[in-house]
Structure formats: structure tokens, C-alpha cells
Amino acid sequence: MMALLSKHGVTKAEAAGGGPSGGPMKARVRMRGPGSGGAPGGTPELYFGDPDGIVVQLQDPGYCGGGGVLGHVCPAIEPAPSKGLLAVRDLNHFTMNVSDPGRANKFYQDVFGLSIRSYQGPTAPTLAIGPDQQFLMFTGGGGGRAGATPAPPRRASINHVCLTMDGFNVEQIQKALESYGIRPREAPAGPAAPMRHYVSMRMENRGGAKEGTPGYLGNTCS
């Protein structure tokens, strides 16, 4: 895998710093030993940094964070101590803030051959992960309005993770969140404070329903 990544400009990290991957367009392998739940000789875990420094880990499909050479040896799942307020079923997508979404999309398509799942605007594709609904999306890097100076680029980061659940109903979800102390967001502009919830209505110009998505489930893709 290191040789394949090197064909796309990702080189081996030689220095110790730079996080798990060593920095943007760098890669390294961590040998996770038995003290951290790995194999006696170490469970190899490969990390690389994309053009913006977002760290990606690559593993075998059987990887469960456990022992064995492939990290696939795990005990039976330990149940939660109590029933939760909401039952989630799967990971749906990750949305990342990056300096250049076009560059990020090209990099991930070149390296992994990812197809386009849907569009949330003419230049805002979602990149399919596998045959189901999972995808990656990259946003950010917009210019200033009417010739204004563009805002300084924000540090690349994961904007949000989306989890799927059966019986999706906005009002019921909000009620459950508020019972735990997660309150409605006070101001529509700016970043949301911790322990706040809000609904974003994605309109037709961003690939949503005419009345806004949820319209209702965002499950119509061409």
C-alpha cells in the first residue's frame, strides 16, 4: 500500500512528529502491540495524511480494532449498561472542511477510484464508499463575494459525522436530545455551542427537496 500511495505523492514519514500520519501527504505504519490490544508481534495500522493533513487509516475489511495480524480478533460485543435514548444503525457520511474541495475530490478519486453518489450543488459531489449509502464530502475554500478578498482559509477539519437510524423523525429526535440536556441552538449564524441541536434545511440548489431536506429523508439520488 505504501508503494501505491507513493505513486500519488504520499511519501513515508521519516520524522517522529506530525501526528499519526506524519503530516499532509505523508504516511507511516504503527505496530500496535499487545499492551494496546494488538498482536504479540504488533498489529500493523497504516495512516496517511491527505493534501490537507486529514488523517486516513487503511485496514483489512475484518478489522475491528482488536488483535491478530489484521486487527480482526475481537471478543463478543459488550452491551451498553443501559438502553440509549436513540438507536443508531450505521455510519452514513463524513463531511470535511478543506482548503480546496476540488483538489480533495480529485485526490480521493485518483487514489481510491471513488464514484459520485450524489450532488449537493453543481460543484459539490459526494464520493461513494461501498455499494450502499456511505459517502465522503469535502466543503470550504469559497471566494469572497463581488470581488471581495476571500476569507483566510480555515484549518482542515472534520465538520461532522452522520449516523443513520430507523424511524427518522425530527421532532422525536429533538425531544430525546433535549431530555438529555442538548438544547436548541440560540443563534443561526456562527458555530454552534457544545450541547446544542439544530436542523439544516438543504434546498434544491444544494441537491435537496423543493421544500428542503429533510424532505424528508434525503434518500433520492440519481
Most confident of 68-82, 141-155, 198-212: 68-82
CA dist list (Å): 112 to 1, 5, 57, 185, 187: 12, 10, 13, 37, 39
Q: Give the amino acid at 117.
A: R
Please tell us whether the domain made up of 88-143+152-166 is placed in CATH 3.10.180.10.
yes
Per-residue model confidence (pLDDT) at position 144: 44
Encode pLDDT of 181-190 as tens digits. Answer: 999 999 888 8
Number of H helices, E strands in the chain: 3, 11
Per-residue confidence at 90, pLDDT binned at 50, 70, 90? very high
Q: Where are the domains of the chain?
A: 2-58, 88-143+152-166, 182-222
Kindly tell me if the per-residue pLDDT of 162 is higher than 70.
yes
pTM score, whole prediction: 0.85
